[in-house]
């Protein structure tokens, strides 16, 4: 730690695995916060990550970084939760559910006990159901509980579309919504590059509309995590940056539109589950879920995605889930 820090926001991270550490590293370089507390069931791991990050402080702006306990979350603007069982090769996100629900029963009440006014940002998979579960057991207002949702899927989608059309992915405006997982869907009816719908867009290199190619891009987007996990065991860099983007929108009250997971209250006939739609995020957390004009097929796919999540959560609540037992 350093005595040169300025007064500013505190951020907490619960879970210092690869996602938590990647987010912490990105946060340290961003100068968004002046305090970062790392918490992990493995105290030694949190201490080691704090040491490693502190050794980089001479290269960035002053900041206090330390391994702490839940009491140290008091006053944190945002607590990022990445703790949970890791996804195994060949394992779906939904198969993680039962183990991580048990973990959340241990950590969420402790976070809220010490920091009832801060935002909860959930990244643990399956993120939509765990965001909903965190909301239910925390007792916090819905606006304060946000899941990373399909922010990463949307980024992957825009990157792949940008590569296909040879344009900057920041100029691609396209969303993946629904579950962060196998039932997610692309909003093709709204996808565009610089305001030009994909069906009408032709790149400078002559690349135009190709339905088969676009379907492959969606499949690559949906299945990207499985491909990465098979090759290196986990995904963490891109989601670390995605979490930083959400935290920045909150700390700077940016009113940024992003596909985070939040409580549905009747959108497209869906309620009582957290799932992703384009959402305005600012200092108040979830400010508004946008009401988009979707095609009838997209609305049906969105409702089906939500139903998938609701059914699995109901199975876990009734004790009849076929997911692996807690371990």
Among all residues, which ones are annotated catalytic? 180
Q: What is the DSSP letter of 42?
A: S
Query: Which DSSP state fits 174?
Result: -
Q: Which region, left, alpha or beta, applies to residue 266 given φ > 0 means left and ψ of -120 to 50 means alpha? A: left
Helix 97-114 / helix 296-318 crossing angle, nearest 10 deg = 80
Q: Could you write out the DSSP letters of every residue in 126-155?
A: SHHHHHHHHHHHH---GGGEEE-TTHHHHH
Q: Is 2 helix (H, G, I), strand (E, B) or coil?
A: coil
Packing angle, helices 237-251 and 151-165, rounded to 10: 110
For residues 171 and 194, is the Cβ–Cβ distance under 8 A?
Answer: yes
DSSP 190-216: G-EETTEEGGG---TT-----HHHHHH
DSSP-assigned letter for residue 27: H
CA pair distance 322, 324, nearest whole angstrom: 7
Residue pair 321/98 in contact by the 8 Å Cβ criterion: yes
The answer to whether 302 touches 294, Cβ cutoff 8 Å, is yes
Q: Are the beta carbons of 282 and 157 closer than 8 angstroms?
A: no
Look at residues 282, 284, 223 and name the one whose alpha carbon lies nearest to residue 258. Answer: 282
């Amino acid at each position: 730690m350093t005595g040169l820090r300025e007064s500013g926001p505190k951020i907490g991270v619960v879970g210092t695995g690869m996602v938590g550490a990647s987010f912490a590293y990105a946060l340290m370089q961003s100068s968004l916060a002046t305090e970062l507390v790392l918490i992990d069931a493995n105290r030694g791991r949190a201490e080691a990550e704090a040491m490693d990050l502190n050794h980089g402080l001479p290269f960035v702006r002053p900041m206090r970084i330390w391994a702490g306990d839940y009491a140290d979350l008091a006053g944190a603007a945002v607590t990022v939760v990445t703790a949970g069982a890791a996804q195994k090769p060949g394992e779906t996100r939904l198969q993680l559910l039962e183990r991580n629900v048990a973990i959340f029963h241990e950590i969420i009440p402790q976070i809220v006990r010490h920091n009832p006014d801060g935002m909860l940002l959930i990244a643990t998979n399956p993120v939509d159901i765990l965001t909903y579960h965190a909301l239910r057991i925390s007792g916090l207002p819905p606006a304060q509980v946000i899941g990373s949702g399909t922010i990463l899927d949307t980024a992957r989608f825009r990157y792949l579309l940008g590569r296909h059309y040879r344009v900057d992915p920041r100029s691609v405006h396209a969303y993946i919504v629904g579950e962060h997982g196998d039932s997610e869907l692309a909003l093709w009816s709204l996808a565009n590059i610089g305001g030009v719908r994909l069906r009408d867009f032709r790149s400078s290199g002559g690349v135009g509309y190709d339905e088969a190619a676009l379907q492959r891009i969606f499949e690559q987007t949906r299945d990207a995590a499985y491909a990465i996990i098979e090759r290196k065991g986990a995904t963490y860099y891109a989601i670390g940056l995605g979490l930083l983007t959400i935290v920045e929108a909150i700390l700077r009250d940016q009113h940024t539109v992003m596909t985070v997971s939040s409580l549905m209250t009747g959108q497209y006939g869906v309620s009582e589950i957290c799932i992703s739609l384009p959402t305005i995020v600012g200092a108040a957390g979830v400010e508004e879920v946008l009401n988009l004009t979707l095609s009838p097929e997209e609305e049906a796919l969105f409702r089906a995605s939500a139903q998938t999540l609701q059914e699995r959560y109901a199975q876990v609540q009734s004790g009849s889930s076929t997911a692996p037992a807690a371990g």
